[in-house]
Amino acid sequence: MSNDQIFTISGLTNYLKRAFDNDEVLQNIWLKGEISNFKKHSRGHMYFTIKDDQSRIQAVMFAGNNRFLKFLPEDGMNIIVRGNITVYEATGQYQIYVNEMQPDGVGNLYLAFEQLKKKLELAGYFDDQYKKALPKIPREIGVITSPTGAAVRDIITTLKRRFPIAKIALFPVLVQGSEAPGSIVKAIRQANEVEGIDVLIVGRGGGSIEELWAFNEEIVAKAIFQSKIPIISAVGHETDTTIADFIADKRAATPTAAAELAVPNWEDLAEKILQRKIRIQRATLKKIETERKKLTNLQKSYAFRYPEQLVKQKEQQLDRILDDLQRNLRLCIERKRTELHNLDKDIQRNHPRALIAKAQDQLKNNQALLKQQLTLIKKEKEFQFIQKLTKLEALSPLKIMNRGYSLSYKQDGNLIKSVHDVNVGETLNINLQDGSVFCQVDKIEEK
């Protein structure tokens, strides 16, 4: 056997506690049984055992939960409880922590109530978006209740006292017993078919949960939800809560309170009307006075005192305006005509045909100018050429030799420029204007 398979007592207890706590069924469970060993601690907590013929379980109901109980539990009482089951680690025992408790019998109805409440709530029957607003000043109130109970007397008395001008339509129904739900549903539907009813009061006086049970039936809840007329639920006393209270457009703590919700207090209403009448009268008088002053000022105005003069002035003013209008119109036409003329000139000036002719004239002028320039350049170049040619001719050796000069060359063709360039006995070539003389050097004399 490995160590992983060996638990300590506390380890096993802790393991079982976690297993219990993670079980969804055990965290919200209903139990039915008989109370034994009941004890209420000085701090308000209740400790007891719930048992049946074969088993038992320890139970704890803390003060925070049992303070809402409408009865005191005792040994031998059959009960239905709701709570969560866990392990009490100190003793290793599993036990139930009770959140709610109902006596058995009545508890069945309580379970049915909770189940229907949860079903309708999930379906959206309780949503505020479906709640209809109550009329502020109803003309006729429908009352659906027992015609012989105290509730109907309280409702009618309150309605007549608070708002005597309202009509009351009584729809007698059974409010207790197996036929009560159908009777209530039928009355709600009949009231919706009657023209003129602005609000419905549905309810009865106080009683046990069994006596009020008709208002926990699903058919009654749906009839209230489907009613086109806003409904005030008035079932039992303030501490009694039924499904009808959740479905109705408004819940009243008592039938008398329902009547007070249904109609305004005519005395308060009369006072409000009187105050508004006074405010309206004051506002009206103030308005009349203001308008009277305006009328007086108008009557004193120039227009009312001298209407003919005003008309004549206006006629003169109209003539001036017409003259100005005509003058401005002529100026405008003339300005536009000038603009049009200038625009036409621009168009003609910039027409492609005109531009081509202009370019052709410019080309001719340029050609003539170019030809003239070329002629001048040619003459200038010719003159310069003649001048240079004249200079060249003046500097030409041939021209010098025409005046009697000659040029002497050595046999190798070099020009003789000095007596030091020749030697005695050397043959020289002397060029004259009309030929050459070859001679030999006999003597050299230096200057």
Mean pLDDT in residue range 12-34: 91
- Residue 160 has φ and ψ, to the nearest 5°, of -70, -35
Asked whether the predicted pLDDT for residue 2 surpasses 60, the reply is no
* Cβ-contact 94, 119 below 8 angstroms: no
User: Is position 287 within any domain?
Assistant: no
Mean pLDDT in residue range 95-117: 80
State which of 47, 81, 104 marks the end of a domain. 104
Residue pointed to by tokens 């003060």:
63
- Residue 256 has φ and ψ, to the nearest 5°, of -65, -40
Nearest residue to 177 via CA among 222, 218, 211: 211
Nearest residue to 49 via CA among 20, 75, 68, 71: 75
User: Is position 447 within any domain?
Assistant: no
Residue 142 and residue 235 share a domain:
yes
Quick: pLDDT tens for 222-273: 999 999 999 999 998 776 789 999 999 999 989 999 999 999 999 988 899 9
Mean pLDDT of the chain: 89
Residue 205 and residue 89 share a domain:
no
Asked whether the predicted pLDDT for residue 128 surpasses 70, the reply is yes
Task: Specify the pLDDT at position 49.
Answer: 94
Nearest residue to 268 via CA among 163, 347, 185, 184: 163
Quick: pLDDT tens for 144-198: 999 998 899 999 999 999 999 999 999 999 999 889 999 999 999 999 999 999 9
Asked whether the predicted pLDDT for residue 112 surpasses 90, the reply is no
**Helix, strand, coil proportions of the chain in percent (round to 5)?**
50, 20, 30
Task: Specify the pLDDT at position 391.
Answer: 87
Q: What would the two tokens of residue 320 be?
A: 């001036």
Sheet of strand 167-172: strand arrangement: 167-172, 140-145, 199-204, 231-235, 250-251
Confidence of residue 364 (pLDDT cuts 50, 70, 90): very high
DSSP letter (8 states) at residue 101 = E
Residue 99 and residue 142 share a domain:
no
Residue pointed to by tokens 């320890």:
58
Total number of domains constituting the chain? 3
Residue 258 and residue 145 share a domain:
yes
Which residue range is the domain that position 98 belongs to?
9-104
Task: Specify the pLDDT at position 3.
Answer: 52
Residue 91 and residue 19 share a domain:
yes
Q: What would the two tokens of residue 30 be?
A: 């209903």
In CATH, what number is assigned to the domain containing residue 65?
Answer: 2.40.50.140
Asked whether the predicted pLDDT for residue 1 surpasses 50, the reply is no
Residue 99 and residue 181 share a domain:
no
User: Is position 362 within any domain?
Assistant: no
Quick: pLDDT tens for 338-353: 999 999 988 888 888 8
> What HEC string does 21-37 produce?
HCCHHHHCEEEEEEEEE
Asked whether the predicted pLDDT for residue 76 surpasses 60, the reply is yes
User: Is position 71 within any domain?
Assistant: yes
Residue 142 and residue 257 share a domain:
yes
Confidence of residue 70 (pLDDT cuts 50, 70, 90): low
Residue 144 and residue 100 share a domain:
no
Residue 144 and residue 246 share a domain:
yes
CA dist 47 and 61 (Å) reads 7
